[in-house]
Structure 1
Amino acid sequence: MERPVTLHVDGTARKLSVDTRTTLLDALREQLAVTASKKGCDHGQCGACTVLLDGRRVLACLVLAVTCDRSEVTTADGLGGSGSPHPVQRALLEHDGLQCGYCTPGQACSAVGMLDEAKAGWPSAVTEDPRQNVELTEDEIRERMSGNLCRCGAYPNIVAALREAIR
């Protein structure tokens, strides 16, 4: 069964008709030709498909597109302004926080979401005192980014990049 959906992708309203079983990732890639989010495992285990949905990070392979009607979807392409990368993207480049680059869009979106979560005071599994402001230590960054895998093993550089972006 097809349903009309309007997605606001990277600041642009896009109308489409989707099968009710279509994931947000497939709608983005196959119907809208928005390929910043990558299909890795297609089971929510690798994080390559991470996008921001109304400002919160989600795994686009696990979200049905029909549930996103009239939502704001931000991919890695929509993080920075015109010709100006987001500070997280800039830091990933400066610290060589990527090798093959396949996971990088998901890493960048997840990092932006992580920064917003920490700023809002959301604790993680390693937060020492959830009643205090969250300090994004290396352990906090690793824990909060643990849902985004990098097959190349660029983790030390990714953490260094995110430490810089926090500053």
Structure 2
Amino acid sequence: MASISLKVNGKVYQIEAEDDIPLLWALRDHVGLVGTKYGCGIAQCGSCTVLVGGVATRSCMMPAKSLGEAEIITIEGLAENGGKALQDAWVEHDTPQCGYCQAGQIISAAGLLKSNPNPTDEEIDTAMRGNICRCGSYVRIKAAIKTAIKKGGVVA
């Protein structure tokens, strides 16, 4: 067992976990934030995406102990970190169907808007390409991102 310190949504958590625990399971099982989902376990579907230092990161393969002092933002903390316009746009466009992938989708969009507050259609497509939606709501996802941009959805 290892003592691991994680800074999540502005709060520091000290957890005792296996040395190789992925961030996903540290967040879900030790911190109690279950908005981040397990999808494939090999960083290919995007369901587990969180922001690490402002960058969209797949948490299922990221060792929790490797993060040091990096700020982690999950779907639960996104609104307090500039993501409210993005989340509101998701609701406005009735984006989720089953909803399983949506936390990862929103976090990936937040990472895009943090690095590029006014992306082109091609840049949106490229940034979101790694997030799989089993229900196929890609058109609504893109529309929600564009609405968030119009409403100043820049993420802090």
Percent pairwise identity: 38
Q: Aligned to 1:145, which of 128, 140, 144?
A: 128
Task: Tell me the distance in 2 between the aligned counterparts of 1:6 and 1:16.
Answer: 6
By how many angstroms is 1:81 displaced?
Answer: 3.0
Partner of 2:104: 106
By how many angstroms is 1:137 displaced?
Answer: 2.5
Q: How does 1:37-52 map to 2 (within 5 A)?
A: 37-52=36-51
Task: Tell me the distance in 2 between the aligned counterparts of 1:140 and 1:85.
Answer: 19
TM-score when scaled to structure 1? 0.84
Amino acid at match of 1:116: K
Q: How does 1:16-165 map to 2 (within 5 A)?
A: 16-81=15-80, 86-119=84-117, 136-165=119-148
Matched-pair contact (CA < 8 Å) for 2:85–2:148: yes
- For residues 118-146 of structure 1, the C-alpha deviation after alignment (integer angstroms, 9 at most, x for no partner) is 24xxxxxxxxxxxxxxx522222111110
Partner of 1:5, secondary structure, is strand
Partner of 2:12: 13
Amino acid at match of 1:18: A
Amino acid at match of 2:55: R
By how many angstroms is 1:15 displaced?
Answer: 0.5
- For residues 67-106 of structure 1, the C-alpha deviation after alignment (integer angstroms, 9 at most, x for no partner) is 0233211001101139x96111110110111111111111
TM-score when scaled to structure 2? 0.90
Task: Tell me the distance in 2 between the aligned counterparts of 1:145 and 1:50.
Answer: 11
Amino acid at match of 1:146: R
Q: Across the two proteins, how many residue pairs are aligned to each other?
A: 150
Amino acid at match of 1:165: A
Bigger proportion of residues as helix = 2
Matched-pair contact (CA < 8 Å) for 1:18–1:65: no
Q: Which runs of 5+ in 2 are unaligned?
A: 151-156
Amino acid at match of 1:104: Q
Larger Rg: 1
Q: Which runs of 5+ in 1 are unaligned?
A: 120-134
